[in-house]
Amino acid sequence: MCHLLLVLPLVSLILFSLLPLEEAATLYSFVLLFCAILYWLIWKDMHRPVTTGVEGMIGAVGQVIQNGKRTHKVFVKGEIWDAICDEALSVGESVEVIGLKRMELAVRKRLRCQTQATSGREGTRR
């Protein structure tokens, strides 16, 4: 079905053999306009950033809620995850997800300037 949309401008050339030139050109221009808008929407949709799955977790910001010996508990996207970090983390600190290893998030400390810029933007949205 989706391939029919791609060949629609070519199939619409049949109009020129069935209708007078002016009417066929007018209808064909509407078909081309429709296809151009449709192709643009499809292209835009296919190039959206990933928001689900493992790929959607990368770059997400969370907060440390509990420290452990090897792992930490972090709150990211409404869920509590086990996380590992090479740096020392403290409770309440902001972290950024850099990867996922099995069911543990690999995180790193978030810079203060990034945190302030994010909270500043959130305050202006309201």
* 32-87 tens-digit pLDDT: 999 999 999 999 999 998 888 878 889 999 999 998 888 899 999 899 999 999 88
User: Is the entire prediction scored with pTM above 0.85?
Assistant: no
Between CA 95 and CA 66 the distance in angstroms is: 13
- Please tell me the least confidently modeled range out of 2-11, 42-51, 88-97, 102-111: 2-11
Contact 16, 28 (CB under 8 A): yes
Between CA 25 and CA 8 the distance in angstroms is: 15
% pLDDT > 90, the chain:
46
Beta bridge partners of 81: 74
